[in-house]
Amino acid sequence: MKLGIFDRIGIVKTSLSILLFSTVLLAESSPLFTLERSTNTNQVVYEMIHEGCVPNPKTPIHPYWVMNTKKGTREELTGIEKRRAYGVKILSTAKDKVVFSLKAVSKKSLTGKCLPGESNPVAVTLIQGKESILKTVYVKTEGPGIIPRVVSITLSGIDLSTQQKVQEIIEN
């Protein structure tokens, strides 16, 4: 039996769909930290997409909204939000880690990786000069309008050497 062109296209589309679906199933997503704002209770969650702690080469870090003002629904960031305020810039990827920065705190580099003996990745950065696991970024703003003025950014986490809470306030 000879297949027509539309039959072959349908087979190819189905095969690609199965391949993409199976690839998505193999990948894991693990929350790294949240970004909170003084304007409302909505949060941006930053997650690492990985397979057994190996970062996804195309999209290793994925930020998204948890809209607590809308019963905790999940929403994707808009293009402007990704480019301006809440997006990430991937600096490098390797087999065991991804180095990135946040648009909101572009001078700080973060490393998404699994710590020895762990299977869930964390975001590691310097907080008060100490290598720490980042848990929360808090952005304090003031002023009306769509783009309020950032007053300060607070990084909170856990010091890797002492397991004590650490915090750093970056004044704008």
pLDDT tens digits, 135-149:
999 999 998 777 788
- pLDDT category, 18, cuts 50, 70, 90? very low
Local structure of 70: helix, strand or coil = helix
Local structure of 29: helix, strand or coil = strand
Note the maximum CA span of the chain: 72
Half-sphere exposure at residue 128, Cβ-oriented, CA atoms within 13 angstroms? 15
**Amino acid occupying residue 10:** G
Say yes or no to pLDDT of 96 above 80: yes
Local structure of 55: helix, strand or coil = strand
Say yes or no to pLDDT of 7 above 90: no
Region 84-112: what's the mean pLDDT? 95
Region 33-39: what's the mean pLDDT? 95
Region 119-133: what's the mean pLDDT? 97
Q: Which two tokens stand for residue 41?
A: 């209770």
Region 39-68: what's the mean pLDDT? 96
Region 58-79: what's the mean pLDDT? 96
Say yes or no to pLDDT of 16 above 50: no
pLDDT value at residue 141: 92
pLDDT value at residue 1: 56
Region 10-39: what's the mean pLDDT? 66
